[in-house]
Amino acid sequence: MGVTGIIGISSPEIARYAEFYSSLSRVARPPGTALAHSLGQVISTNRNMISERALEVGAEWVWYVDDDHLFQPDALMRLLARDVDIVSGLYLQRRIPYTPHRYNREEATGALWPMPLLPGDSGMSEALATGAGCLLVKTAVLRKMEPPYWRLGQMAPDVWGDDFDFCRRARAAGFKIWCDLDVWADHYVIHRVSPHRDEQGVWTTRIMEGQTQLADLPAAYEEKRS
């Protein structure tokens, strides 16, 4: 049997999270699925190499995954079962306020606004763009787009990412962008944890993200006194 699909892993030269690989090893995949692991600091270059590999071997689809995510064991099979051209699992941004990587409003500058999750939301949701950390794309989409398929810096590095640009050009080529609200992925977040003592001398464990305080927890390192 030939290669029917590619799981494309994009990561820096030094892999970030061992738990990602453990998670990916538990993901069910159909016969004919191959892995393509592209290493490098420029994520658009990695994704282009994965895309070119998928086209070379005649794969029908690519599941683009980033190495700072964890996946449900049935994530790939459920996305494939949707049988659409482009569909992402649902995951959140790594920074406060952790909005969904699902966008439904675009400004003239190219900035995109995230689509909030409302009570009862489920199933397939059409969007202008999604992130590409858990993104299933049929290679028919790539064949209709001009290479390079993934690009950075179209407007400004902090405004226009390769995932936004890919979705914009895919829509221009006639494809719809979907987000499956029933397939969830975890996104790793880096926090700082430090001891903290208030003015009354009470110790707590302070959790910070950047300059934002997330929580003060009771200090687990205080000696118990009878």
Domain coordinates in residue numbering, the chain: 5-187, 191-226
pTM for the model: 0.88
Q: Which pLDDT does position 155 carry in this prediction?
A: 47
For β-strands 203-209 and 102-106, DSSP reports them as unpaired
CB neighbours (10 Å) of residue 93? Answer: 14
**Cα–Cα distance for residue pair 67/71, rounded to 1 Å:** 11
Nearest residue to 192 via CA among 220, 165, 214: 214
CA 165 to chain centre: 15
**Cα–Cα distance for residue pair 55/60, rounded to 1 Å:** 8
pLDDT digits (tens, 9 = 90+) for 115-137: 999 999 999 999 999 999 999 99
∠ at Cα 110 (182, 148), nearest 5°? 80
Residue that has been written with the tokens 């449900």 in this structure: 72
* Residue 211 CB contacts under 8 Å (≥ 6 apart), including other chains: none
Helix or strand (DSSP H, E) at 9: strand 5-11
CATH number of 5-187: 3.90.550.40
Q: Which pLDDT does position 222 carry in this prediction?
A: 53
**Cα–Cα distance for residue pair 226/211, rounded to 1 Å:** 37
pLDDT digits (tens, 9 = 90+) for 140-193: 999 999 999 999 865 454 555 899 999 999 999 999 999 999 999 999 888 888
pLDDT digits (tens, 9 = 90+) for 201-221: 888 888 888 788 888 888 766
Query: Are the CB atoms for 164 and 113 separated by under 8 Å?
Result: no
